[in-house]
Amino acid sequence: MNEKQRTIKTPVSLEGIGLHTGCRVTITFKPAPVDHWITFKRTDVEGSPEILAIVDHVSDLNRGTTLATNGIKVHTVEHVLAAISGLGIDNLTCELDNAEPPVFDGSVKPFVDKLLEAGIVEQESDRQYLVIDEPIAYSEPERKVDIVVTPSDDLRITFMIDYANPALGTQYTSLVSLTDEFVEEFAPARTFCFLSEVEMMKSQGIIKGGSLDSAIVIIDKEMTEAELEEFKKKFDIDRDIKLQKSGILEDKKLRFDNEPVRHKAVDLLGDIMLIGVPVKAHFLAARSGHAANVAVAKKIRSMYEKQLLSKKYGSNGLQQGYLLDINAIMKILPHRYPFLLIDRIIDLEPEKCVHALKNVTINESFFQGHFPDHPIMPGVLIVEAMAQAGGFLLLETIGRPKDKLVYFVSMDNVKFRKPVVPGDQILFDVTLVSFRRNVCKMSGKAYVDGQLVTEATMMAAVVDRDQDASD
């Protein structure tokens, strides 16, 4: 039996202080329709703009995950997203009247409790999973960060941290079942930081709403009484604090023996929500933070977008090492024989670049006259094929390809570096440089056997199909 998408039954609100901005904010969770996913809505901004919680909208990763569109930001979203993910919610609108959700005690439990209070309900549509069917690896050797994603029949997280600090040392945790473990065993785990980091972050002005009640502070330095008093002044602390031998400021009792690494697993859970679809995979992470988490989320979302594109146009190319076949190309480009000059789309990054392939055979009609005794592909047709690859990228980027055409308006810096002959296979790399008011600039290169044969800078305009060419 297929699982159903889920949202909440009734709106619920929480009020508190944002960790980094120090703003007082109310966050209201509201039910959302099927296939809506998760959005953050800034009700304090004119027009109440919404930001879809996907990795494409990540704008900053300094001590948290920030989302932004059109200059409108929501800071430190990972705890909210982790609560939503841990409870298996697919569709939700998170309304905020300021720029950052509350931090509370540094755990996701307040969000979890409030969402459970609202009630979780099933919706009519089935839940669509992204199933990871082959391992994915990410590594930052200089920081000793590693993440490996392997196939699994459910979402699982295994996390390891190791610090040269006796209060932490090496810690390990494994989240095997969101249903059975998340609410009681992971949601209460609080964020942590080192005492030296607290002072640094305070001087940088990025924990304006932070307090000793919003995190576990690990002692990693000695402080004199005078330095301790100065520390209290910086944070407006009016009670006595001491550097206890436990290694944790104020001798704060941990909720779990390995509470810090459990919270790191929760952060990862929130960051991978930015893939934009529920995932069935096992994430194994060592010493990972937001930057690495989001890098992996980007990699997986790119795979997901390619799967959607391949499915949209009925192509089976992904199993054979390419993205779209000629039948899919003909659903987007208006060109037909004898002027359709690309055979496959090898890869595509929406709004960024396309890699296309052209097989050059002696059966090409132009070889009859160019030249009968010395066949060479006309340079103008190489550029035309490059332009068609760019046109494919544009039409897929804007959507509605059946309603639009691409007119190329100029070609600059065109260079032909090597002849193209029958038997060659041309690989086109076309990158979108800029796109404003339906006019775009693209940079294209053509390669044969890894050698550059042609390059050009192209300008094109996207027009309606029924628009007169003279307009």
Kindly list the catalytic residues: 290, 370
Radius of gyration of the chain (CA): 27
Q: Token pair of 416, please?
A: 């032909």
**Contact in structure between 126 and 6 (CB atoms under 8 Å):** no
Q: Token pair of 181, please?
A: 């473990």
Q: Which residues pair with 410 in a beta bridge?
A: 459
Dist. CA 61–CA 248, nearest whole Å: 26
Dist. CA 240–CA 237, nearest whole Å: 8
Dist. CA 252–CA 104, nearest whole Å: 16
Tokens 């800029």 found at: 434
Question: Which residues, at least 6 apart from 116, have a Cβ–Cβ distance to it below 8 Å?
Answer: 87, 183
* Cis status, amide bond into 419, omega within 30 of 0: no
Dist. CA 308–CA 225, nearest whole Å: 61
Question: DSSP character for 368?
Answer: G
**Contact in structure between 81 and 38 (CB atoms under 8 Å):** yes
For 419-434, the DSSP string reads ---TT-EEEEEEEEEE
Q: Token pair of 271, please?
A: 């960051």
Dist. CA 1–CA 264, nearest whole Å: 33
How buried is 421 (Cβ within 10 angstroms: 0-12 exposed, 13-18 middle, 19+ buried)?
Answer: middle
Q: Token pair of 260, please?
A: 């810090």
Q: Token pair of 170, please?
A: 């090496």
Single-letter code of the amino acid located at 133: D
Q: Which residues pair with 58 in a beta bridge?
A: 67
Single-letter code of the amino acid located at 60: D
What does residue 61 show for φ and ψ, rounded to 5 degrees?
-130, 25
Cβ of 400: how many Cβ atoms within 10 Å?
9
What does residue 392 show for φ and ψ, rounded to 5 degrees?
-60, -45
CA nearest neighbour of 130 among 7, 267, 272: 272
**Contact in structure between 248 and 218 (CB atoms under 8 Å):** yes
Helix (H) or strand (E) holding 295: helix 290-312
Tokens 């998760």 found at: 38
